[in-house]
Each structure stands twice: as structure tokens, then as C-alpha cells.
Amino acid sequence: MLKVLKSGFYLTIQDLGRFGFRDVGVPISGAMDIASVKKANMLLENDDNDAVLEITMTGPTLQFDVPTFICLSGAHILATLNNQPIENFQVIKIEKGDILSYGRLESGFRGYLAIKGGFQNDKVLGSRSQFVPVTKSARLKDGDEVKYKESKSFKPIITEVKIEDHFEKDTLVVFKGPEFELLTDAQLTEIFTKTYSLSKENNRMAYQIAELIKGHEHSMLTSGTLPGTVQLTPAGRMIILMKDGQTTGGYPRILQLSEDSINVLAQKRSGESFQFKLS
Amino acid sequence: MKKYPINIKPFGERAVLIEWPNKVSESILANILDFMDVFKELKIEGWEMSVAYNSLTMVYNQDHIDFEETKSMILDCYGKIDSSEIQRTQHLWTIPVCYDLEFGIDIEDAAKTLKLSVEELIEQHTSHEYVVFGIGFLPGFMYLGGLPSSLEIPRRAEPRLKVTKGSVGLAGKQTGIYPQDSPGGWNIIGNCPVQLFNPKEKTPCFVKVGDKIRFESISKAEYDLHKIEGEVGIYKPEKVVLNA
């Protein structure tokens, strides 16, 4: 078991997502920055889909009760194992009783903790990702325990790599959304020439953009939405749906983020700025 | 079977959106479901399809797709609808609702606004069949069509931060059931004891798009009974097979 001594700001278990239940309104969930998860799982020679912990902004304090191997990725949050500093993209051997704790957030917003074999909480509807009401709890709290498999004899092919962060970018690549044609020339100019920033209203469901653009009076029938769909409200607010985002919506879907750009956006915090670039 | 012009649009790297004419119509919905039946016959793993009124979102959860290739596959399937002999089973579900004031916290105000008595409001709400035009927004939330115009009422001026799970509401041309606690601005007229989304079931939502539902007024005692039956897993919603 991994014991959560302190959970930090928002600690969840995530894999790549829950597929096949979109038709009954279940969002895909899964890690916000899948690129980081895949890299950490790769170093541990795990499956891409093995469950990890997603650490948001401030890190937890965690204790391991059997030997294993871990790898950190994503945001740079100063981490220590038994008070010794450790880095992202190192395969680290864990002994019984070891304590992993985190300090200051240096860059990015979401860190990942991958473990040999993946975390073993129960799958619900094919995924271990936490999302209420599919799973009972939305996140891990102080005192919670998460199952993992003991691993002593793992000999990693690669023990450490220097990988340039994929999220140190300020351009989000977008495709035309289904209602792109509704945008006026004035709105298009605004969208693709100005710089935007992330508002305080941001969570695993949706990220709102702080700056308003010119609004619209278009009303439409509810239709499908995806992670990365940029909706435009009548008041001119752009709302980007993320991994726990609703499966349908009634606002015009003006843009669709590329999947790489979802990973980039997932690492932004409120106030950080970016521009849109049409693919 | 009536055919419609369809519009296929790219939707990011692994999805497409198919749009039918922009209206709420049972005939369009039937055409969408026919298309889905034909497409499912291809048995390509990884395609997720979700309907909402006049549109179908198709997501390929395995990989990125080539839009033109996908579009021609879709048009090919759409062309085969007429020759398809697939029979679809659709159901009419009876969904119990307790309209007691304990649950129907806005029912008196709503009745007043609609110039009806509370009894008339319940009578009208329970005497229609509603078509399920989509499931989305929240897990198990049904978009229902067919609300009589006599029950059309604006949303509440201020949404509530928490509407209780099972609440049955009215808003504009819509009526529906909140499948879980959530914020919401609908006028709440009752509560349904039946769990509409159950992640423990293989089919977490027993209602399907294209099914119909009707509401049945129940007493507080029946409500409590159904609630307990639901908790121990013996509640079976009442259904009738409709001719496809």
C-alpha cells in the first residue's frame, strides 16, 4: 500500500481514461497531461495505461510499505525521498517505509508519480481514473491508501534520461471547431492575434480564458463535446473543456485543441498566457 | 424510411461530427439510429458514438483518423440504410416520480406561473410520452423531447448551487431528471427514486437514446419502497417494447 500522509492540493489516481461510455454521458477522464504519463510509464517499462498519481500544484507526502520502483514526470515540484532530492525521469528504487515528499512548484502545474506495474485501485467501467459518480471519491485524501504490487528484481533498461519538457510553450495549436464558420472576421482577428491568459476558473472539467472576446447571439441544439473543445458563450467567454469535461454542450464549438496542446495547457496555471495558432 | 442531407465535419484529430437538419424530430432521430446500426455492423473496435438531437459525434478512441477516409466510410454506411434489415428494439419506460412538496420544492410556484393547479400540472406531466434525444451533460442525464407547451416555463432566475439527485425539473421546452447532485437552474417539481446511472452495472444506464419514457405519480410510501429496492438491487423499472 501507498499511504497518503498528506494529500496536498488535489491528488488523484489517473490512467489514460475511461472509454466506451460517452454515449451515457461519462467523460473520458484520465491524466490531464498524457505525454508526461507515457514517458514515466515507459521508463518503468509499464503499459502506457498503467495508473499513476496526478499531483496538482502542491505535492503530497507519501509512504511506501513494500519495495518497488517509481518515476516522476510532469511539473517540476521539488521532490525528496527520505529528504534526498530526486528528479523527474529517474527510475528510483523504493524500500519499505520510504517517504516521498514535495516542496515548491518550479514549473508546470501537474506532476505525475508512476510506479512499477501501476497503481492497483479497482477499475470501474474499465478505468482506474477517479471521477464522481463513477468512482466513490473524486480524489485522495489524508490517510487514504492505494494498492500497488511489490517489485524487487526490476532491472530497468534506462535508469535516467534528460527529456526536454514538452509544455514550455506558449502556443496552442487548434483546429477549426464544428461552429468555426460562425466566427466573424473581427472575432477571428481577435482570436488569432491577441494573447490570452488562463483565468482562476480552471479545473479538470474546464479551463476558462480570462479575456473576453466579442460575443454572439447564436443558439444551437446541444451537441457532442470533447476534451480540448473551445466553446464560446454569448458573453464572449472562451471555455476549454478538459478531461473530466461534459460529453455534450450547447455553446458553439469554435475551436478544437490538438491533443499535444491539451498536454501543454494542462501544465498552465491561472494567469499564464498563450496564443492560438490554427493548424 | 425518410432520408436527410447530412453534413460531416472534422472534429479534432480523432473525431467527426455528423449533422442532420437542424431540428428536433423523431424521424431524424430514427435516421441517426439506423445509421448507427449499419455502422456497428462493420464491427470496427474503438468507435464511440453519441447522439444529441440532430447530431452524432463519432470518436475513434484507438488512434488519430484520416478525415476523408472516415467521411467516405460514413457515406458508404449511410447509403446502405435502405437495404439494411436490422431490427432495433426500443422501450417505453415508466419512471416513478413523487411530486410531494417535500421533493417538488418549486411545484407550487411553477403551477402558479403556468396558471394550473398542482394536480393539473402533475396530470399533464404524467400524461405524455417523452422521447430520449440524447444522454449527456452528466452521466445518465437524458435530453427529453415532447414536453407539452402548457408546461413550458423559464429557468429560475438564480440557479441553485445544489439540486438533489433524482430531482425532476422543468425548464423551457425541456423536462428531465438530475442523475446526481449538481448545480442547476431548473424548476424542481418532484423526485425520482430510480437510479438512472449505476456504474456497478455492465450497462450503467438502462435507458437508451431512441427509447421513450413516461412519468408515473407515486406516493411518498411508494417512493421510499422503490428507493430501498434500488439500494438492495431488486428494483426493476417497468418497460414495454415499442415496435421499431
- What does the block give as the cell for B15? 473525431
State whether B57 and A175 contact (CB < 8 Å): no
Within 8 A of B179 by CB-CB distance, chain A residues are 25, 133
pLDDT along chain A (279 residues), means of 10: 97 97 97 97 98 97 98 97 96 97 96 98 97 96 98 92 89 98 97 97 95 92 96 95 95 97 97 97
For residue A213, give every residue at least 6 positions away whose Cβ sits within 8 Å of its Cβ, in sequence order, or none. A187, A190, A191, A232, A236, A238
State whether B12 and A248 contact (CB < 8 Å): no
Give yes or no for B141 touching A (CB within 8 A).
yes
B188: pLDDT strictly greater than 80 = yes
CATH number of the domain that residue A57 is part of: 2.60.120
Q: Write the DSSP assignment of A77-110 as a string of letters.
A: EEEEETTEEE-TTB-EEE-TT-EEEEEEEEEEEE
Band of the pLDDT at B185, cuts 50, 70, 90? Answer: confident
Give yes or no for B145 touching A (CB within 8 A).
no
Please give the share of chain B, as a percent, with pLDDT higher than 70: 99
Q: Which residues of A touch B (CB under 8 A)?
A: 19-26, 28, 124-125, 132-135, 175-178, 220-226, 228-229, 246-249, 253, 256-259
A263 shares a domain with A194: yes
Closest CA to A74 of A35, A132, A125: A35
The two beta strands, B130-135 and B167-171, are unpaired
Q: Give the three-state DSSP class for B125.
A: helix
Within 8 A of B136 by CB-CB distance, chain A residues are 25, 222, 224, 246-248
pLDDT at B161: 86
For residue A116, give every residue at least 6 positions away whose Cβ sits within 8 Å of its Cβ, in sequence order, or none. A44, A46, A68, A69, A70, A148, A149, A151, A154
- What does the block give as the cell for A138? 473524486
Full domain range(s) for residue A203: 171-278
State whether B199 and A135 contact (CB < 8 Å): yes
Q: Write the DSSP assignment of A142-174 as a string of letters.
A: TT-EE-----S----S-SB-----TT---EEEE
State whether B51 and A23 contact (CB < 8 Å): yes
A240 shares a domain with A128: no
- At which residue does the C-alpha cell 463519432 appear? B58
pLDDT at A279: 93
B2: pLDDT strictly greater than 80 = no
The CA-based angle B46-B47-B51, given to 5 degrees, is 145
Q: Is residue A86 part of a domain?
A: yes
Closest CA to B50 of B205, B168, B179: B205
State whether B17 and A224 contact (CB < 8 Å): yes
Q: Is residue A254 part of a domain?
A: yes
The two beta strands, A273-278 and A171-176, are parallel
Give yes or no for B31 touching A (CB within 8 A).
no
Give yes or no for B138 touching A (CB within 8 A).
yes
Q: CA–CA separation, A28 vs A16, rounded Å?
A: 8
What is the pLDDT of chain B when averaged over all its residues? Answer: 94
Give residue A96's identity as a one-letter amino acid code.
K
A83 shares a domain with A11: yes
A64 shares a domain with A21: yes
pLDDT at B244: 53
State whether A19 and B15 contact (CB < 8 Å): no
- What does the block give as the cell for A96? 519499505
Nearest chain A residue to B56 by CA distance is A224
B121: pLDDT strictly greater than 80 = yes
Q: Is residue A215 part of a domain?
A: yes
Total tally of structural domains belonging to chain A? 2
State whether B139 and A26 contact (CB < 8 Å): yes
A116 shares a domain with A175: no
pLDDT at A207: 96
State whether A24 and B197 contact (CB < 8 Å): yes
Nearest chain A residue to B165 by CA distance is A133
pLDDT at B233: 82
pLDDT at A230: 98
Ranges of H-type helices in chain A: 34-43, 185-193, 259-265
Q: Is residue A191 part of a domain?
A: yes
pLDDT at B159: 82
- What does the block give as the cell for A148? 500497488
Residue to substitute from B13, B36, B45, interface A, most A β-carbons within 10 A: B13
Q: Is residue A164 part of a domain?
A: no
Band of the pLDDT at B1, cuts 50, 70, 90? Answer: low
- Going from the C-alpha of A42 to that of each of A31, A45, A156, the distances in angstroms are 15, 5, 10
Within 8 A of A257 by CB-CB distance, chain B residues are 12
Q: What are chain B's domains?
A: 7-79 (3.30.1360.40), 90-242 (2.40.100.10)
A107 shares a domain with A70: yes
pLDDT at B202: 87
**Closest CB to B140 among A25, A132, A220:** A25
A142 shares a domain with A6: yes
CB pairs under 8 A between A and B: 116
A6 shares a domain with A99: yes
pLDDT at A237: 95
Interval B9-19 mean pLDDT: 98
A137 shares a domain with A9: yes
Q: CA–CA separation, B244 vs B242, rounded Å?
A: 6
State whether A248 and B197 contact (CB < 8 Å): no
Q: Is residue A152 part of a domain?
A: no
Q: CA–CA separation, A144 vs A270, rounded Å?
A: 29
A110 shares a domain with A25: yes
A100 shares a domain with A27: yes
Nearest chain B residue to A22 by CA distance is B50
The conformation of residue B81, written as its DSSP 8-state character, comes to T
A136 shares a domain with A184: no
Residue to substitute from A174, A221, A242, interface B, most B β-carbons within 10 A: A221
CATH number of the domain that residue A188 is part of: 2.40.100.10
- What does the block give as the cell for B88? 432495433
The conformation of residue B87, written as its DSSP 8-state character, comes to P
Band of the pLDDT at B6, cuts 50, 70, 90? Answer: very high
pLDDT digits (tens, 9 = 90+) for B15-58: 999 999 999 999 999 999 999 999 999 999 999 999 999 999 99
pTM across the whole model: 0.94
